[in-house]
Structure 1
């Protein structure tokens, strides 16, 4: 017998957006859906790959942490997943699991937490807000940690663009991609990213998409992470020559994200033909900005 049930939908996210390292994140219309049930006893986890079907599952751990935080003890928990966001590809799959667990637990417990409290708790579990923020609020979000508080601001992006995700068949863990980053960087590289992220935000909000080609020039993480991804730098250069407005490494990678004019019908066909010439298989997804964020269905 089911006591209570709730379904949560969480969008994919693309973080960093080139120079906005650990600061910018954007929600996309690719989704994971999770159904939570409070059942008479025990726990059930279904819909995940075998290796994620135990209590070490990130959704399960997040819902348990939520119950602990708010002091709620369920009779039992059932979690069922319908996942479309690729795992360990730089598209926010971990953030989607964490947010779903926190929101699912909050719903089962009678909604004691408000949206900002959900955001704070999910960020605490994740460790950083750059994927959590857009996944929860939708759209483009700036987020940062100020002492123990998470600060965020949502930004309106002008219409007229779409996103082309080049998704590799291989995975790249955030831990691995963090380990290649230097402990110190040069002053001029920091100045470069400050300049470029300011230009990026203004171009996206004002619809000056012609300026994006100058904004997507990162010096803090892509030069190091790109070395972990076969053909990364060649793909970047090819996308630039194919009239992409901008191209960057999505999150920690290995997904490469291209921004193109919404009326550009040739880019996808051309980049697909090019990717087929490479040794490493790549999949292509045309995506748009999700403005709703996480929804309870």
Structure 2
């Protein structure tokens, strides 16, 4: 039996579309045990990811049983698919004795996911910047600053990534590109140094949130209320519908006040405050 622990991730962080990511201390556990029957759901993302490792080294995958302990909300923009992929690839690497490097697993996971922004922090933990250069994933990883907390707010409705990507424009104005380059650069500096004042400006975005927020009823109200309650920043997590507010570590009143506000809104919103996680996917 192999048990894998893997964290939730948030991507984009406002302006860092498809390149910035952060692991959060919200954890799934996945257990793999040998079975006398073949796995029924061949489209299961965990199974597919494990099998991809076996296939890459030319080994037959044994019959396995997969059991999950799920704490990462599904289809909410918190990296649930990346968590499945990272867990599956890690288990496949161990069970097959393939001995693939972490970079090889990240490349494989990116091929499955289609982009590395959630995959890299799911494998490595911490704050990450990632990019695809032809067939290679190039990334930077830094221990997440421990002086921020993250108010994770999500409604009962889900938002598939395909739907959220469908509202994005095919082109953006040159000025919007410059706007996002400057903010994502500021955001990288803020996340490395823990500069909360920079963060107040850095999470503004002109590339995806203006289009996606139409799919998340209450986005402007929630982000506006978060700022009025002292949040350093507020942004759509990944493709949504989760909204994350970044809080200073010494904030004590945000959670209760924001929960009270969310109760008065449609959508049956849940709020949990999490820390960043510097722990990547691991066999426990």
TM-score surpassing 0.5?
A: yes
What is the aligned counterpart of 2:179 among 171, 181, 192?
Answer: 192
In the TM superposition, 1:217-296 aligns within 5 A as 217-296=204-283
Tell me the distance in 2 between the aligned counterparts of 1:216 and 1:117: 31
TM-score (norm 1): 0.93
Query: Counterpart of 1:33?
Result: 29
What is the aligned counterpart of 1:183 among 150, 170, 180?
Answer: 170
For residue 20 of structure 1, report the CA deviation from its aligned partner. Answer: 0.5
Local SS of the residue matching 1:9:
strand
Local SS of the residue matching 2:68:
strand
In the TM superposition, 1:138-149 aligns within 5 A as 138-149=125-136
Query: Counterpart of 1:43?
Result: 38
Tell me the distance in 2 between the aligned counterparts of 1:156 and 1:102: 23
TM-score (norm 2): 0.97
* Larger mean Cα displacement after TM superposition, 157-166 or 92-101: 157-166
Tell me the distance in 2 between the aligned counterparts of 1:99 and 1:292: 13
Counterpart check, 1:68 vs 2:55: yes
What is the aligned counterpart of 2:200 among 199, 209, 213?
Answer: 213
| Cα deviation digits, residues 75-107 of structure 1 (max 9, x gap) | 311111111101000000000111111111111
Query: Counterpart of 1:17?
Result: 13
What is the count of residue pairs matched by the alignment? Answer: 284
User: RMSD in angstroms over aligned alpha carbons?
Assistant: 1.2
* Larger mean Cα displacement after TM superposition, 233-242 or 154-163: 154-163
Local SS of the residue matching 1:21:
strand
* Larger mean Cα displacement after TM superposition, 76-85 or 156-165: 156-165
- The list of structure 1 runs, each at least 4 consecutive aligned residues, that deviate by more than 4 angstroms after superposition, is none
Structure 1 residue runs without a partner (length 5+): 46-53
Query: Counterpart of 1:49?
Result: none
Tell me the distance in 1 between the aligned counterparts of 2:109 and 2:213: 29
| Cα deviation digits, residues 6-53 of structure 1 (max 9, x gap) | 1111100000000100000000010111111233x43347xxxxxxxx
In the TM superposition, 1:73-112 aligns within 5 A as 73-112=60-99
Structure 2 residue runs without a partner (length 5+): none
Query: Counterpart of 2:140?
Result: 153
